[in-house]
């Protein structure tokens, strides 16, 4: 391969910087391209009705470790992470395509196990697998899923449309998937050093389950529809709460105040964190893969939220000059910084 004379390392930009750089000159040519690169999903207008498209690439050794990831769970999760992006646009997923790169160390039985998980997710979420591609891979298992969904005209919710004074909210609880990963990585290390030793992971079922078999928040989108709630901005939490909050602030040109004590963290997550002498708040802020929804909402709609105990109000949006702040339990104010999983530095 011929290389240009100047060389800029990709890691110097980070994933989002890289995407911004590569897509900076895009001018959309089709009137049907309503929303392009830079949100959870693209929005395509088909004769007045709107289609959502989202895609993810999962690579063995980077995104998952087959030593402790059952193939059925991996198939399930590969679908979920894409459905989550469609829900994050306030849409309903309807179809997926699935492409796989497979090395010859995989048997047909192993692939069948993977597909069992794929079909289980499709059935649970009511989506159809409608296409894909299979290819050989020289090394490692490669999974590419594209999800397609529908949204009523102009009911999609983007990241950059939060308003000053809006409530900052999230679904479910945070930080668990990261602790599941910490546990499994430790067990892997112990197993590799002393293959006879089998750990007792019974007590960590919750956090490990959150990592290996996440769910997408279909229920929240259905709740919004039922209660006629329209978030002003929304995205899913895949890289950690702080990183996602910074996206909403940057794209909406706003600041925010986040209250540490309001961040929802499960008891199981807290006790798992303490075992590793980790701060549960740091796990929620910087851990990833929770696949919860982060959204902003006009305060006028606040009372509708009390019907749903799966939703927490964790802060509010401010003018940009006030910065992006977290108020700790001790009452201190700090800047929120993105220390989420970075695809180009983590586990590199």
Residues 74-103 that bind its own copies (CB under 8 A): 94-95, 97, 99-102
Q: In what order do the strands lie in the sheet with 292-297?
A: 233-237, 292-297, 167-171, 311-318, 255-259, 324-327, 333-335
Q: Confirm or reject binding of residue 59 to its own copies (CB under 8 A).
A: yes
Q: Confirm or reject binding of residue 140 to its own copies (CB under 8 A).
A: yes
| Buried b / exposed e along 204-213 (16+ C-beta atoms within 10 A) | bebbbbbbbb
Which of 88, 104, 304, 311 touches its own copies by CB under 8 A?
104
CB of 72 to its own copies, least distance (A): 11
* End-to-end Cα separation, the chain, in angstroms: 23
- Give ∠ CA 340-200-172 in degrees, rounded to 5: 40
Q: In what order do the strands lie in the sheet with 128-136?
A: 33-35, 42-46, 49-59, 142-151, 92-102, 128-136
Which of 89, 109, 169, 274 touches its own copies by CB under 8 A?
109
Tokens of 224: 């919004």
Q: Which stretch binds its own copies (CB under 8 A): 63-71, 200-208, 314-322, 332-340?
A: 63-71
Name the residue nearer to its own copies (CB basis): 147 or 182.
147
CB of 62 to its own copies, least distance (A): 5
Name the residue nearer to its own copies (CB basis): 8 or 194.
8
- Give ∠ CA 220-224-229 in degrees, rounded to 5: 140
Q: Confirm or reject binding of residue 195 to its own copies (CB under 8 A).
A: no
CB of 124 to its own copies, least distance (A): 11
Q: Footprint of its own copies on residues 289-348 (CB under 8 A)?
A: 343-344, 348
CB of 15 to its own copies, least distance (A): 6
Name the residue nearer to its own copies (CB basis): 127 or 257.
127
Within 198-318, residue ranges assigned H as helices are 205-212, 218-227, 241-252, 267-275, 280-286, 302-305
Tokens of 72: 């059925």
CB of 5 to its own copies, least distance (A): 8
Closest CA to 241 of 308, 291, 305: 291
Distance CA 50, CA 149 (A): 8
Q: Confirm or reject binding of residue 286 to its own copies (CB under 8 A).
A: no
Q: Confirm or reject binding of residue 251 to its own copies (CB under 8 A).
A: no
Q: Confirm or reject binding of residue 198 to its own copies (CB under 8 A).
A: no
Tell which phi-psi region holds residue 297, choosing left (phi > 0), alpha (psi between -120 and 50) or beta. Answer: beta
Which of 113, 185, 219, 301 touches its own copies by CB under 8 A?
113
CB of 235 to its own copies, least distance (A): 14
Q: Footprint of its own copies on residues 12-41 (CB under 8 A)?
A: 12-13, 15, 18-19, 21-23, 25-26, 28-30, 32-33, 35-37, 39, 41
């Amino acid at each position: 391969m011929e290389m240009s004379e100047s060389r800029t390392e990709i890691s110097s930009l980070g994933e989002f910087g890289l995407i911004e750089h590569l897509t900076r000159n895009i001018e959309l040519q089709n009137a049907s391209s309503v929303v392009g690169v830079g949100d959870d999903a693209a929005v395509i207008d088909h004769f007045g009705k709107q289609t959502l498209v989202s895609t993810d690439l999962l690579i063995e050794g980077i995104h998952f470790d087959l030593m402790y990831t059952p193939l059925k769970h991996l198939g399930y999760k590969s679908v979920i992470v894409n459905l989550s992006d469609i829900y994050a646009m306030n849409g309903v997923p309807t179809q997926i395509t699935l492409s796989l790169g497979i090395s010859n160390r995989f048997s047909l039985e192993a692939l069948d196990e993977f597909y069992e998980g794929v079909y289980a997710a499709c059935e649970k979420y009511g989506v159809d697998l409608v296409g894909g591609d299979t290819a050989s891979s020289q090394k490692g298992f490669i999974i590419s899923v594209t999800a397609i969904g529908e949204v009523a005209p102009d009911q999609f919710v983007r990241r950059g449309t939060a308003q000053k004074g809006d409530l900052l909210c999230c679904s479910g609880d945070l930080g668990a998937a990261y602790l599941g990963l910490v546990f499994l990585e430790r067990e892997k290390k112990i197993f590799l050093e002393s293959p006879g030793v089998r750990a007792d992971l019974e007590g960590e079922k919750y956090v490990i389950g959150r990592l290996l078999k996440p769910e997408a928040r279909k229920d929240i989108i259905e709740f919004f529809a039922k209660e006629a709630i329209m978030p002003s901005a929304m995205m899913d939490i895949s890289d950690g709460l702080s990183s996602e909050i910074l996206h909403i602030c940057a794209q909406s040109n706003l600041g925010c105040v986040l209250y540490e004590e309001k961040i929802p963290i499960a008891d199981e997550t807290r006790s798992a964190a303490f075992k590793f002498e980790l701060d549960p708040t740091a796990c929620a802020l910087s851990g990833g893969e929770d696949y919860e929804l982060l959204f902003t909402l006009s305060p006028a709609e606040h009372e509708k939220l009390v019907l749903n105990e799966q939703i927490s109000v964790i802060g509010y949006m401010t003018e940009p000059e006030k910065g992006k702040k977290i108020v700790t339990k001790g009452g201190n104010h700090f800047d929120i910084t993105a220390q989420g999983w970075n695809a180009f530095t983590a586990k590199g």
